[in-house]
Amino acid sequence: MAQCQAAERVTAAHDQLTWHPVWQTPVTMDHMMDEPGEQPWSKLKSTIYSAIFRNPKSTKVTLATVTLAADDRVLDIGCGPGAAVRQIAGRVASATGVDASPSMISIARKRASHLTNVEFSVRPAERLTFKDGAFSVVWTIQSWHHWNDPEAAYRQVLRVLAPGGRFFVVEKETDGDHGITQTEAAALAAKLTNAGYSDTGFSKVDKMIIVSGVAG
């Protein structure tokens, strides 16, 4: 009974949201977002986010844009409830999700409990602690703009990527808040070059911006 009432409350809250015509996200979403430097997402915020964003547009764009092979080992940084990780599990050798929020990882693990080549752990982008060269693809979807120390994260990603491995930062294009501007995307690509990535650049896909670089 209590569960039904809770579900009804979530549904009612969902219905009352004003939905952005392009992003298919609530226009009030910004009020749920942490500012850079704040604590990891709380249990409440993680629960609300995961109830509303079961398959965000940013995930769809990422999966439609990044080509994957059966032997790819993929890391999703700031995976949240794990929608992208679950969807690629059947197409790659392994899919790993990390997030700074224990609450998000708890939800991601529950939702992926039926999958065998999937792992989740609580780790911030800045301290990945995986073995050198452990992954062939690393992406981060609408998480980059929260990172406390992006430069440290770029070094970590470069270390955990195998030579030739690909890194993608996926953000919605914004005028500066909770996303990325084209100017910031160009600056990020330059920072990746300075950090030691090759073939850096960015592209616009369906109102999202994808910044990318290759290890080595």
Question: CA quadruple 57, 100, 162, 181: dihedral positive or negative?
Answer: positive
Give the pair of three-digit tokens for residue 56. 């965000």
Residue 135: name the closest of 122, 119, 150 by CA: 119
101 part of the interface to ligand SAM, by CB under 6 A: yes
95 part of the interface to ligand SAM, by CB under 6 A: no
56 part of the interface to ligand SAM, by CB under 6 A: yes
47 part of the interface to ligand SAM, by CB under 6 A: no
Figure out which of the listed residues 80, 165, 179, 213 binds ligand SAM, where binding follows CB under 6 A: 80
At its nearest, how many Å lie between ligand SAM and the CB of residue 104?
4
Distance CA 190, CA 196 (A): 10
**21, 104, 202 from 18: Cα distances, Å:** 9, 24, 30
At its nearest, how many Å lie between ligand SAM and the CB of residue 187?
19
The contacts of residue 131 (CB under 8 Å, 6+ apart) are 160
Figure out which of the listed residues 99, 171, 173, 184 binds ligand SAM, where binding follows CB under 6 A: 99
Q: Which is nearer to ligand SAM, 72 or 99 (CB)?
A: 99
Q: Which is nearer to ligand SAM, 58 or 96 (CB)?
A: 58
Figure out which of the listed residues 85, 89, 104, 169 binds ligand SAM, where binding follows CB under 6 A: 104
106 part of the interface to ligand SAM, by CB under 6 A: no
Give the pair of three-digit tokens for residue 123. 């780790």
Figure out which of the listed residues 41, 154, 167, 197 binds ligand SAM, where binding follows CB under 6 A: 41
- Is residue 32 helix, strand or coil? helix
213 part of the interface to ligand SAM, by CB under 6 A: no
CA angle 65, 63, 47 (to 5 degrees): 140
At its nearest, how many Å lie between ligand SAM and the CB of residue 2?
26
75 part of the interface to ligand SAM, by CB under 6 A: no
CA 192, chain centre distance (Å):
18
Please identify which residue in the block is written with the tokens 């439609």. 64
Count Cβ atoms below 10 Å from residue 153 Cβ, excluding itself: 24
Contact positions vs ligand SAM (CB under 6 A): 40-41, 53, 56, 58-59, 77-80, 83, 99-101, 104, 124-126, 141-143, 146-148
